[in-house]
Amino acid sequence: MLFRQLFDPESSTYTYLIGDPITGQAALVDPVLEQVDRDLQLLQELGLSLAFCLETHVHADHITGTGQLRDRTGCRGLVPQGAEVACADGQMGDGEILQVGTLGIVAIATWGHTDSHLAYLVEGDRVLTGDSLLIRGCGRTDFQGGDAGLLYDAVTRRLFTLPDETWVYPGHDYRGQTVSTIGEEKRHNPRFAGRDRSVFIALMSNLNLPNPKKMAEAVPANRQCGQG
Amino acid sequence: MLFRQLFDPESSTYTYLIGDPITGQAALVDPVLEQVDRDLQLLQELGLSLAFCLETHVHADHITGTGQLRDRTGCRGLVPQGAEVACADGQMGDGEILQVGTLGIVAIATWGHTDSHLAYLVEGDRVLTGDSLLIRGCGRTDFQGGDAGLLYDAVTRRLFTLPDETWVYPGHDYRGQTVSTIGEEKRHNPRFAGRDRSVFIALMSNLNLPNPKKMAEAVPANRQCGQG
């Protein structure tokens, strides 16, 4: 498998490229509008044809590159079931498997940051967690249908039940960390390790974070595939 | 092997953690002063003991974390042979092999960005290129004994002769790229692909880059292990 982690410094977003060297088919997960040229050039250089753009959720902090990528490549844009994105070409539901050439990507419902968030398990050994589980952190739960109890359940029952050696690739990182494992996060994530559900909910309700700078612009734009 | 790529957003520097799960010994390559607490916490969480800090070269754009890491862990700070760093605990020369527990790190002389630059080949399949070869780019050659001809020779004769599938992990990236391969860089690096030595030298002499913001502070500090 061809696998690349790509970073957008402006929004601290990670985009993931998943490519099948056998068929040349590829998918991008959580592409960022400002990085579309970079991502298309990399696909071309790796000899890959973009078949799918996937979103882990409707983002509030950056505008998706999916609409523009679809216009320029003819790829299909897929969003989580329940996300209000009428322009999408299809939806992924919990447990659904997307074939990218010979590769398999399994959707895992991980609600809580938003009410239709998916993580994607790629080839069984690496999970793209979007804004559910972050390295030593987690996504906020105070807008877009966020729910701290649901996030606790998703992380502890759906992600922490994956094998300890599963690689964790998050949707963001703000401290220069690139990758972790499920075992590491179970032991060392300060939001979850040794905390029960009610303590986690109390913790999340007291974060008092400002809204993302681009939120008023990004959410409506992302409901139109980044072309609002 | 435990292997982690860590990023310092301020200077766009990559630090690498290399850990031997069998003995618990670890090395950091190009640690950044401002990230020492993060790196020590990660070492502790992974159950690793820091044995070595390595520098690819005397940096001009950030201050090394080596001195502080040495004070706090007792590790040895190693620098390339010829680097004017009197406080270092030892030097690495071309072809020397450092054992980190059961792991092997081979130094590869890659002069040109500076006059004592090393790349490090880790366990034979990934090369930490410092500021010699970058992803689709290369280090500048206009100060600190830089020499475009030497850099061309180092990249084309020492790095591009590694197997095509060798992973390339650079010392910096400014476009959100994290990893490449030798084969990819041979084909797609615009500084080298299809360019002969004289064309490369002419190209490098016409970049007209401003000096790094921290240069006046960083170079003297790094000659004192970041504690100048």
- As a whole number of angstroms, the distance between CA B189 and CA B173 comes to 14
pLDDT tens per residue, range A5-14? 999 999 999 9
Nearest CA to A137 out of A104, A170, A166, A165 is that of: A170
Residues 24-53 of A with CB under 8 A from B: 35, 38, 42, 45-46
Whether residue A228 is predicted with pLDDT greater than 90 in this model: the reply is no
A20 touches chain B (CB under 8 A): no
Which letter does DSSP use for residue A208 in this model? -
pLDDT tens per residue, range A101-133? 999 999 999 999 999 999 999 999 999 999 999
- List Cβ neighbours of A33 (8 Å cut-off, separation of 6 or more): A62, A63, A64, A65, A68, A226
A222: its two tokens: 């992302």
* pLDDT band, very low/low/confident/very high, at A34 (cuts 50, 70, 90): very high
> Residues, chain B, total?
228
Query: Do A175 and B8 count as a contact with CB atoms less than 8 A apart?
Result: no
Instruction: State which residue of chain A sits closest to B186, comparing Cα positions.
Output: A45
Mean predicted confidence (pLDDT) in A198-211: 95
- As a whole number of angstroms, the distance between CA A178 and CA B211 comes to 29
Number of helices followed by number of strands (H, E) in chain B: 6, 14
Query: Do A5 and B35 count as a contact with CB atoms less than 8 A apart?
Result: no
Candidates A4, A176, A177; nearest CB to B179: A4
Residue B144: the pLDDT is 87
Strands A126-130 and A118-122, how do they pair? antiparallel
B214 touches chain A (CB under 8 A): no
> Within 13 Å, how many C-alpha atoms sit on residue A215's CB side?
8
> Within 13 Å, how many C-alpha atoms sit on residue B128's CB side?
28
A2 touches chain B (CB under 8 A): no
Say if CB A129 and CB A192 are below 8 A apart. no
Query: Do A35 and B177 count as a contact with CB atoms less than 8 A apart?
Result: no
* pTM for the whole structure: 0.96
- As a whole number of angstroms, the distance between CA A34 and CA A53 comes to 15
B6 contact residues in A (CB cutoff 8 A): 176-178
Helices (H), A89-136: none
* Strand ordering across the sheet containing B90-92: B2-8, B13-19, B25-29, B49-54, B76-80, B90-92
pLDDT tens per residue, range B87-137? 999 999 999 999 999 999 999 999 999 999 999 999 999 999 999 999 999
Buried b (16+ CB within 10 A) or exposed e, A170-200: bbbbebbbbbbbbebbbebbebbeebeeeeb
Judged by DSSP in three states, B221 sits in: helix
Whether residue B228 is predicted with pLDDT greater than 90 in this model: the reply is no
- As a whole number of angstroms, the distance between CA A207 and CA A142 comes to 9
Whether residue A60 is predicted with pLDDT greater than 80 in this model: the reply is yes
Say if CB B17 and CB B3 are below 8 A apart. yes
Q: Where are the beta strands (DSSP E) in chain B?
A: 2-8, 13-19, 25-29, 49-54, 76-80, 90-92, 97-100, 103-109, 118-122, 126-130, 133-134, 137-138, 167-170, 180-181
Angle at A156 between CA A200 and CA A114, to 5 degrees: 70
A5 contact residues in B (CB cutoff 8 A): 178-179
Q: Please name each of the domains of chain A with its CATH number.
A: 2-210 (3.60.15.10)
Query: Do B46 and A4 count as a contact with CB atoms less than 8 A apart?
Result: no
